[in-house]
Amino acid sequence: MDYKLALHKMITEQTDEVQYYLKTEQALIHVNELIDKTITVAFHSYQCCGCGKDKKIFAQGFCYACFMASPQAGDWIMKPELSTAHLDIEDRDLNYEKAVQLKPHIVYLALSSEIKVGVTRKTQIPTRWIDQGASEATVLLETPNRYLAGVAEVALKDYVADKTSWKKMLKNDVDPVDLLAKREEMIPHLPKEVQDYIVTDVTKYTIKYPVKKYPTKIKSTKLANNDSITGKIIGIKGQYLLFEDGTVFNVRSHEGYVVTLAF
């Protein structure tokens, strides 16, 4: 089969094992079915997620101009504590920022390699955890806006990581830790202004990925350095395709790339 598509992060569905899909204009490719198959992903062109033009992608699927101007690439995306829509203060587009920031947000602990703290919109659960390759996760807070979630995250960064070691995550090198015990441990460290939003329902979510065999050595490959990438898929975790030779391909970091996919 041969498809041409603009890459976006894979669509996921949580069943007993995560199901992954890639959307093309004509079809929905069930990526799980490509496990054990040899695929080739080849660069075709760019399609900026902002302006749609064939301009080199700078970051987060955007060309440089869009990355600097789009409300979807403001600093508050990566740093929720910089959110200001609750104060009626605009960053790039107040209407957009209100629509996103003034929604229920979740502060969670997730275990992908070590325990990390993170923030996401409530509607992004469990998508966010799957995208990060977390094997376990638990909700700590549900706040009415992004700012308060960011304040809590900043406070907890002194006690837990806020980044994933993606290589350890892909090798399934996961620290043996008790997530719910860590959750209890974090509660006294939460600032006063968010204490009212602690979630009382303490649940540990577990996520399983379709991986036949975890690689022991990881080598990342990018279309920025290769015209095409060929390999036999042995698994999918987070937003990564894992190939038999230890090469990994981060689908999400190729947003805005138009490719041909053959298998």
Residue 115 burial by Cβ neighbours in a 10 Å radius (0-12, 13-18, 19+): buried
Dihedral pair phi/psi, residue 260, rounded to 5°: -105, 140
Q: Cβ closer to Zn ion: 50 or 150?
A: 50
Q: Is 28 helix (H, G, I), strand (E, B) or coil?
A: strand
Segment interacting with Zn ion (CB under 5 A) among 19-27, 49-57, 134-142, 253-261? 49-57
Q: Which of 11, 35, 42, 51: binder of Zn ion (CB under 5 A)?
A: 51
CB of residue 224 to Zn ion, shortest distance in Å: 17
Q: Cβ closer to Zn ion: 223 or 236?
A: 223
48 part of the interface to Zn ion, by CB under 5 A: yes
Q: Cβ closer to Zn ion: 46 or 240?
A: 46
Dihedral pair phi/psi, residue 190, rounded to 5°: -75, 135
Segment interacting with Zn ion (CB under 5 A) among 41-49, 136-144, 146-154, 197-205? 41-49
Q: Which of 50, 74, 118, 231: binder of Zn ion (CB under 5 A)?
A: 50
- One-letter amino acid at 77 equals I
Task: Decide if 160 contacts 130 (C-beta within 8 A).
Answer: no
Output the six-digit token pair for 101. 């920031």
Q: Cβ closer to Zn ion: 35 or 69?
A: 69
DSSP state of 11: E
The contact set with Zn ion (CB under 5 A) reads: 48, 50-51, 63, 66
